[in-house]
Structure 1
Amino acid sequence: MRFLIFTIALLVCSFSLTSYGFQSESPSPAIQAPLADKSLLLDITQVGQSKLVAVGEYGHILLSNDGENWRQANVPVQSTLTSVYFLTPELGWVVGHDSTILHTSDGGESWEIQYFSPELEKPLFDIAFDNENHGIAVGAYGQTLRTSDGGKTWQSEFHQEFLLPDDVEYLAELKQEDEEAYLDEIAFILPHFNKLVKDGRTLFLLGETGMLAKSNDFGVTWQQFEDIYQGSFFGLARTKTGNLIVAGLRGHVFRGIKNGSNWNEISTNTTALLNEVLISKDDRVLILGNNGVLLESTDDGLTYRLHPQKDGKSLIAGVLFNGKLIVVSDVGIKQISL
């Protein structure tokens, strides 16, 4: 499949934001909750060799050294937190609702606000860093924030390359006629950006309406994969043989060979929403989904076996840790033996 190669630079609308965005009032800190590890959690990551960090509703950030016993970090917001990313065992970031960006420099033990702007009414869904200075956060309606100073300041970007040609023409005319209406329109015209996946020098972006793109300059410009399907994508990983597995709505899984130059839809025998793709050390492909769906492939993603979880709870994100699959769900932390 040929690529639609975008070389359009970022469209105007790039401006410096202070650490707290357009904050009108200080947020309330998260409450220490005895049952936080049984509440809705939305992401989890491994930090170093022996620590896990999970995030979720009410500003909950949980830490564990064994996957069984969890403690709650002190967090300065009660916003729902959607994604966690660590660049090193010490340096990490979390994003969430209210356009929240939090930062830690001590491995997740303490957190500070780098950006908080509930007035935007746009949740952030994911974040990634290329090094300790350069990072990018993405979210609803194509919201994109970039930093070049480790998060001290963030710049808003509008990625025109994801617009349809008719929308590009429409916006150009609107900008000439009514600058205020133009700014209102670009705030909500782009699809949701659901996930960032860093794969070596390549950064992948997954979103609504079949949007799947890659960048070799850390998201300054994007190449979009064309016409895979029209639903949303939520998870992507590269197999040990170099092929790409991407998953999304209603059980849709696609396998991209030759770095995604050709895509094939793979049967999964499920219609559940699929949230994340993981690759185990023994080359198994594991896909986590809603309704307790766990898919497993032992042939590089060509075929899948369904392992339904008895409680039927959503498997939202997970890590392979100490021989087990540690998953976050709508009922907190779950351990699945492999």
Structure 2
Amino acid sequence: MFLLLYSVTYTSFADELPVKQNKPIINIPAAEARLASKSLLLDITKVNPNKLVVVGEHGHILLSSDAVNWQQAKVPLQTTLTSVFFVNNELGWAVGHDATILNTVDGGATWQIQQYMPELEKPLFDIIFKTPTEGIAIGAYGLVFRTNDGGISWHNEFHTEFLLPEDAEYLAEIKKEDEEAYLDEASSILPHFNRLVLDKQTLYMVGEIGLMAKSDNFGVTWEPFDDIYQGSFFDISKTKQGDFLVAGLRGHVFQSKDNGITWQAIQTHTTALINDIVLSADDRIFLLANNGTLLESKDQGQSYQLRAQKDGKSLIAGVWFNGKLIAVSDVGVKLISL
């Protein structure tokens, strides 16, 4: 089966980075798999109090009303999917490898391709919408795509505000001498962008090399935070008390009580990579990490208790659902016993 892609163009605050012309592609739909809920799954979201959606390898997207029984959705690609987001009960998006963006208008039962660009050879890691039409997706090497029409078209942005001064000078020099070399360097010089969180009108992003930034115009321009750590961050969250938490490599967690002006390192007594922050309905904070590491805080993130999972499998993402912690891992969906 052949499929024509939606239009994709490149825009930039400094330069336009052209991409190869899109050609018709052969897409193979995700196969129905009886054990899909036990396969590698990379993200989970709570659409409403009665519905969960998870995404993962081989284009698997699954839906459940109880976190026990799962129904596989119809997905037009077998690409690994890394993140899923719903703006309301019916309208959602998923992103993944090959700069893939999928869309659903029926609550996740069926999905359509909005973007698939294997020629980029870059994954997208997160996606968020603030309205049914305004969305942004981020990924490896500073990859950013934006839509203002619900995904009918996606436009790539090159955010020069994340360039180090010496990198900006380097790009300017090689642009004068070799346009092709400039395009190659520009497409790989930025750090990985890992996670987006929207808090009212402010959008937050964390990523590689200690990247933390905020935007008051939905990512059109970004204001990087001061450096507090040179390792990667994989999640940022605002607690019910209004504090910010960021978490990432080697068990590093930092807390801010003044909207990111100052940060305090929090001891976790683990070196496991922390993938996700989950807030419970009863004011607990859970940190989901590799190697079966689960950390629980009952004091607004000041201290954490280790709740090691016996199977040692990585906890990649999670949600609080009907009074339970539901996580996804490299062995599928896990109902965490607390």
For this structure pair, what is the TM-score category when the shorter chain's length is used for normalisation?
Answer: over 0.9
* Distance in 2 between residues matched to 1:226 and 1:13, nearest whole Å: 28
* Distance in 2 between residues matched to 1:142 and 1:295, nearest whole Å: 30
1:11 to 11, 14, 23: 14
Alignment-derived partner of residue 6 in structure 2: none
Question: Quick check: 1:278–1:286 contact (8 Å CA) kept in 2?
Answer: yes
- Residues 221-277 of structure 1: per-residue CA shift (max 9 Å, x gap): 111111110000001111111110110001001011111111011110100000001
* Distance in 2 between residues matched to 1:216 and 1:23, nearest whole Å: 36
1:175 aligned onto 2:178: no
TM-score by length of 1: 0.94
* Distance in 2 between residues matched to 1:271 and 1:23, nearest whole Å: 45
* Distance in 2 between residues matched to 1:158 and 1:40, nearest whole Å: 31
What secondary structure does 2:287 align onto?
A: strand
Map residues 156-235 of structure 1 onto 2, 5 A cutoff. Answer: 156-235=156-235
Which of 251-260 and 76-85 deviates more?
251-260
Alignment-derived partner of residue 3 in structure 2: none
Shift of 1:23: 4.7
* Distance in 2 between residues matched to 1:246 and 1:22, nearest whole Å: 38
- What is the aligned residue count? 327
* Distance in 1 between residues matched to 2:41 and 2:296, nearest whole Å: 23
Map residues 137-156 of structure 1 onto 2, 5 A cutoff. Answer: 137-156=137-156
Change in Cα spacing, 1:24 to 1:245, as seen in structure 2 (3 Å) is: same
Aligned letter for 2:237?
A
Question: Quick check: 1:23–1:118 contact (8 Å CA) kept in 2?
Answer: no
Aligned letter for 1:324?
K
Question: Quick check: 1:23–1:117 contact (8 Å CA) kept in 2?
Answer: no
* Distance in 1 between residues matched to 2:129 and 2:240, nearest whole Å: 23
* Distance in 2 between residues matched to 1:176 and 1:133, nearest whole Å: 38
**Deviation >6 Å, runs of 4+:** none
Aligned letter for 1:204?
Y
Aligned letter for 2:311?
D
What secondary structure does 2:26 align onto?
A: coil
Question: Quick check: 1:239–1:279 contact (8 Å CA) kept in 2?
Answer: yes
Aligned letter for 1:182?
Y
Question: Quick check: 2:316–2:327 contact (8 Å CA) kept in 1?
Answer: yes
Identical-residue share of aligned pairs (%): 61
Question: Quick check: 1:56–1:81 contact (8 Å CA) kept in 2?
Answer: yes
Alignment-derived partner of residue 282 in structure 1: 282
Alignment-derived partner of residue 305 in structure 2: 305
Question: Quick check: 1:10–1:220 contact (8 Å CA) kept in 2?
Answer: no
Alignment-derived partner of residue 272 in structure 2: 272
* Distance in 1 between residues matched to 2:58 and 2:229, nearest whole Å: 34
Change in Cα spacing, 1:37 to 1:23, as seen in structure 2 (3 Å) is: farther
Alignment-derived partner of residue 111 in structure 1: 111
What secondary structure does 1:312 align onto?
A: coil
Shift of 1:197: 1.2
Which of 216-225 and 37-46 deviates more?
216-225
Shift of 1:14: 6.4
Which of 177-186 and 68-77 deviates more?
177-186
**CA RMSD, Structure 1 to Structure 2 (Å):** 1.5
Aligned letter for 2:158?
F
Aligned letter for 1:40?
L
* Distance in 2 between residues matched to 1:85 and 1:121, nearest whole Å: 22
Question: Quick check: 1:23–1:119 contact (8 Å CA) kept in 2?
Answer: no
* Distance in 2 between residues matched to 1:174 and 1:297, nearest whole Å: 50
Structure 1 unaligned spans of 5+: 1-8
Question: Quick check: 1:45–1:52 contact (8 Å CA) kept in 2?
Answer: yes
Alignment-derived partner of residue 63 in structure 1: 63
Alignment-derived partner of residue 47 in structure 1: 47
Shift of 1:24: 4.8
* Distance in 2 between residues matched to 1:211 and 1:245, nearest whole Å: 14
Greater RCO, 1 or 2 (C-alpha within 8 Å, sep 6+): 1
* Distance in 1 between residues matched to 2:162 and 2:148, nearest whole Å: 23
Map residues 128-139 of structure 1 onto 2, 5 A cutoff. Answer: 128-139=128-139
What secondary structure does 2:166 align onto?
A: helix
- Residues 171-200 of structure 1: per-residue CA shift (max 9 Å, x gap): 122222222221111011111111111122
Alignment-derived partner of residue 257 in structure 2: 257
Structure 2 unaligned spans of 5+: 1-11
